[in-house]
Amino acid sequence: MSLTPDQKTEIETARAQSHATRRPTVPALEEMLFSAIPVLDHGFIRVVDYMGDDSAVVQAARVSYGRGTRKTTEDEGLIRYLMRHYHSTPFEMCEIKFHVKLPIFVARQWIRHRTANVNEYSARYSIMDKDYYLPAPHQLAAQSIDNRQGRGEVLGEGTAQQVLALLRQDAEQTYGHYELMLEEDIGLARELARMNLTLNTYTQWYWKTDLHNLFHFLRLRADSHAQYEIRVYAEAMLETVKAWVPLSYAAFRDYRLGAVTFSAKMLEVLRRQLAGEAVDQASSGLSKREWTEMQAALGR
């Protein structure tokens, strides 16, 4: 993880301060506030602000005043009901803001989630840090033969080292040329010089979203099928959500992250199987892929 001296000072200063407030706070998340959680080789995430907690979800659903006098078990039951039945609006009452350092190619995947407020480090005004992502050798894999956007077998040690050497050489060369073009002898504008940088160069941004849309992001990006480099960011964010809204997190874990969805056809096939009928793919009415996915979900 790479933090500049200024960022380290900023974090230390922020963590040394405290503020009196009448709004609900969450001690577990307060303890994590501002601290950088390492991700990949030079990346990190850190929570810089948040609003609301589990009680805000409950309050919005009941449209009540304050925290109320109901038991925690009642609040938990309501939150689980809301999650189970896709009532999303109450979860939109909570918001969180992250500071994230991530490779540019990961940022380009991430930005596809258009339901957040984003402000990215500007290479038009500032010079990019000399930080670039190099995968661990066991993360270097060949193209999957049955998944057009996934990885297959891990490369052999010799091939992996060759790939790493190429990635390092390209990143070093392009950053060197980037610096050269910025020097006084050439003096190229920063907004033009930046186009030479490789996609594994690290960028940074502030990313603010509400809990409902954060759950949507995490359901897709913390999934085992997501690309490793964005999945590890999602997994780190899950730990902050667990500290922030433990009741909502547990419901999300049970009903979204660890759950599967069956189509109407799949459900009918399952009913037929439970009734004792021998059903195969040909007689199921499902495509081969649907059939395979259903059997995998059932552990067959």
Catalytic residues: 221
Q: What pairing do the DSSP bridges indicate for beta strands 151-154 and 202-210?
A: unpaired
Q: Kind and range of the H or E element at 98?
A: strand 95-103
Q: Which long-range contacts (CB under 8 A, 24 or more apart) does 14-23 make?
A: 14/48, 23/51
Question: The tokens of 114 are what?
Answer: 């258009």
Task: Describe the chain by its helix, strand, coil percentages, rounded to 5.
Answer: 50, 15, 35
Other beta carbons within 10 angstroms of residue 50's beta carbon come to 21
Amino acid 135 reads P
Strand ranges (DSSP E) for 170-273?
A: 202-210
Q: In what order do the strands lie in the sheet with 37-39?
A: 37-39, 43-51, 95-103, 202-210, 117-120
| CA angle in degrees (0–180, nearest 5) for 271-275-281 | 60
Radius of gyration of the chain (CA): 24
- The C-alpha atoms of residue 203 and residue 189 are separated, in whole angstroms, by 19
Question: The tokens of 116 are what?
Answer: 């957040």
Task: Please tell me what DSSP assigns to residue 256.
Answer: I
